Amino acid sequence: MRDSGRPAAAGSALPGAFQGRFRFVDRAVQATAALSDQLSAFICAFLIVVTTAAMLIYQAGIAIAWLDDLLRMLLIWLVYLGTVSLCLHNDHIAMDAAYLRFPAGLRRWVDMLVALLGIALCGFVAKIGYDSFRQALEFGERLGSGDLPSWPQDLVIPVCFGLMAVAYVSHLLSVIRGRQVRAPSEAERAAQL
């Protein structure tokens, strides 16, 4: 994760009313990310069970057309739900070689720019995904096997990208407030020396 390079602030220079709202938004997003993580873990466990059952069924020579669609849908939900906490903690893949050499003030501006871009891009993808989901629901689209409706799979994009946009808002607020989301990594500590 990238942090602003500043120590975690006990308070903030923001007026009290804004601090309360930021804390509320922060707590709500943290709770949503935790729920997303737990749901992702549940889907992972369910995916392992269903995959094992599918292998046993296929070994017995039984073909169930919709099983591949179900496994694909579960995997898609697993991946996208897992990304919500990555966005919240700014733990996504990043090229830190130059970033770690930036002065603390410039790192803070880069963090804010990344958060703003994340909000814009995730919000845009959520909007486009919602339009696609709505169309799939309206026309009764089906997945490849023809047995399952496509809307549960199409729902993943607007839901998860919407949650990622909200997570980036929370990350932006933490950068503005100077609060560290997690302890700096070894490379980040070395760059601060």
Residue 81: inside a domain, yes or no? Answer: yes
Tens digit of each residue's pLDDT (9 = 90 or more) over 43-59: 999 999 999 998 998 89
Residue 176: inside a domain, yes or no? Answer: yes
* Greatest extent of the chain over all pairs of C-alpha atoms, in Å: 67
Summary count for the chain: helices (H), strands (E):
7, 0
Residue 175: inside a domain, yes or no? Answer: yes
Contacts of 191 (CB under 8 A, 6+ apart): 100, 101
> Which domain, by its residues, includes 162?
16-192
Tens digit of each residue's pLDDT (9 = 90 or more) over 59-108: 988 888 888 899 999 999 999 988 888 887 777 777 777 888 888 888 88
Residue 1: inside a domain, yes or no? Answer: no
Number of domains in the chain: 1
Rounded Cα–Cα distance for residues 178 and 3 (Å): 8
Residue 8: inside a domain, yes or no? Answer: no
Rounded Cα–Cα distance for residues 108 and 88 (Å): 16
Answer yes or no: pTM beyond 0.85. Answer: no
Residue 105: inside a domain, yes or no? Answer: yes
